[in-house]
Amino acid sequence: MDEGPEAGDGRQTPPGHVGGPMGGAAEPEPPPKALGEEEEEEEELDPRIQEELEHLNQANEEINRVELQLDEARTAYRRILSESARKLNAQGSQLGTCIDKARPYYEARRLAKEAQQETQKAALRYERAVSMHNAAREMVFVAEQGVMADRNRLDPTWQEMLNHATGKVNEAEEERLRSEREHQRVTGLCREAEARVQALHKSLRRAILKSKPYFELKAQFNQILEEHKAKVTALEVLVSQAKTRYSVALRNLEEISEQIHAWRLQRLLRRRASPVGAEASPRHPITEGDGTHGTHLGVEGASGDTLSVLSLQTIASDLQKFDSVEHLMGLSDATSLNSEEMEERERRRHRGGQGHCKHHRSVSL
């Protein structure tokens, strides 16, 4: 009995196996990839996905960076707040009751400062209203000159411009009067606040001088806290904007994903769809056996082809029944022949000689 060829390492390779390049067993080939997988690999990545992913990553990085800065800013704000409270309490314990006595004066100074700022804002609004009123009056003057240029013919364009300019003048006049009244009101409040400050300064001169270090330190801490608070507010706005961009990019990715899935589903349905005749036709031809009239139907497919197969089987069964009836009819004709007719035929055959021969139907049971 022949043995298989020996491998390089002394082992024998069984018949029918081919050794690898180093004498070992051949490596199995990877299974073929499905058609859908190959098509999916061939599909190019939608450029919108890459773009939205970049936006998503940028927004995520900005969120992380700004949130770290926001945490640091909030920590610094809380630290300064606690430190200011500790130092102010220590300063207040040293100065005693003079702080409470001088507090109304510094409160009046704060209110006077706010009133002064409101007076400045009201003055700016009043100046803007006066400028708008003067510009509207100039427009009315130009429109009147255009209307008066041709007295015999009234131009509708100049007439419309004059009406529009007159309306603007009326609106500007109302705004100027309202701004003037507001400016007068806040100016009166500012004067009252300054008068109160002067009165408290005269009555609380000694307590004010003694508690001055405490309120100066408090003003410094208040300014520092206001700066840190503004920084925290700005960082919160940046975080909110970055989160909004992140949400928009994520929503766009979801919409793109839904569009791709819908497109793939439509492509899969179109691929599975085929002509109606191709689905109804049998995949195997009808075969006839030797000496028999039977039919063999090779049917594969879905339930749609089953009705066609059943119809063909019914027709074949009817044909078999018809053939069997014809066979019996021939058999009845053969059995009706008696012996006398057979002898008569023999005599006619001998009389006729070799002139002609008649062929009769022979039936075998």
**pLDDT band with cut points at 50, 70 and 90 for residue 200:** very high
Give φ, ψ of 25 to 5 degrees.
-70, 150
With 70 as the cut, is the pLDDT of residue 299 above it?
no
Which of the residue ranges 171-175, 253-257, 299-303 would you say has the lowest mean pLDDT?
Answer: 299-303
Give the chain's mean pLDDT: 74
Largest CA distance in the chain: 176
With 50 as the cut, is the pLDDT of residue 24 above it?
no
- Give me the count of residues in the chain: 365
Q: How far apart are CA 45 and CA 253, in angstroms?
A: 13
Q: What is the pLDDT of residue 341?
A: 60
Is 172 buried (19+), middle (13-18) or exposed (0-12) by CB count in 10 A?
A: buried
**pLDDT band with cut points at 50, 70 and 90 for residue 344:** low
Q: What is the pLDDT of residue 178?
A: 93
Q: How far apart are CA 285 and CA 297, in angstroms?
A: 7
Q: What is the pLDDT of residue 47?
A: 85
Which of the residue ranges 80-89, 133-142, 154-163, 209-218 would you say has the lowest mean pLDDT?
Answer: 154-163
Q: Average pLDDT for residues 126-154, to the nearest whole number?
A: 83
With 70 as the cut, is the pLDDT of residue 73 above it?
yes
- How far is residue 255 from each of residues 19, 47, 55, 143, measured CA to CA in Å? 54, 14, 15, 56
Q: What is the pLDDT of residue 17?
A: 44
**pLDDT band with cut points at 50, 70 and 90 for residue 146:** confident
| DSSP structure class, residue 358 | -
**pLDDT band with cut points at 50, 70 and 90 for residue 16:** very low
With 50 as the cut, is the pLDDT of residue 291 above it?
no
Q: How far apart are CA 22 and CA 24, in angstroms?
A: 6
Predicted TM-score (pTM) of this structure: 0.50
Give φ, ψ of 19 to 5 degrees.
-75, 155
Read off the pLDDT of residues 246-273 as tens digits, 9 standing for 90 and up.
999 999 999 988 998 998 888 888 888 7
Q: What is the pLDDT of residue 42?
A: 40
With 80 as the cut, is the pLDDT of residue 129 above it?
yes
Instruction: Give Cα 9 to chain centroid, integer Å.
Output: 61
With 90 as the cut, is the pLDDT of residue 20 above it?
no
With 90 as the cut, is the pLDDT of residue 145 above it?
no
Choose between 11 and 241: higher pLDDT: 241
With 60 as the cut, is the pLDDT of residue 276 above it?
no
Which of the residue ranges 9-13, 50-54, 348-352 would you say has the lowest mean pLDDT?
Answer: 9-13
Choose between 321 and 253: higher pLDDT: 253
- Evaluate whether 43 touches 33 at the Cβ level (below 8 Å): no
Q: Average pLDDT for residues 74-91, to the nearest whole number?
A: 93
With 50 as the cut, is the pLDDT of residue 359 above it?
no
Q: What is the pLDDT of residue 317?
A: 57
Q: What is the pLDDT of residue 324?
A: 47
Which of the residue ranges 14-18, 102-106, 109-113 would you say has the lowest mean pLDDT?
Answer: 14-18
Q: What is the pLDDT of residue 320?
A: 55
**pLDDT band with cut points at 50, 70 and 90 for residue 345:** low
Q: What is the pLDDT of residue 290?
A: 44
Q: Average pLDDT for residues 65-84, to the nearest whole number?
A: 94
Q: Above pLDDT 70, what percent of the chain?
A: 61
The residue written with tokens 């270090």 in the block is: 213
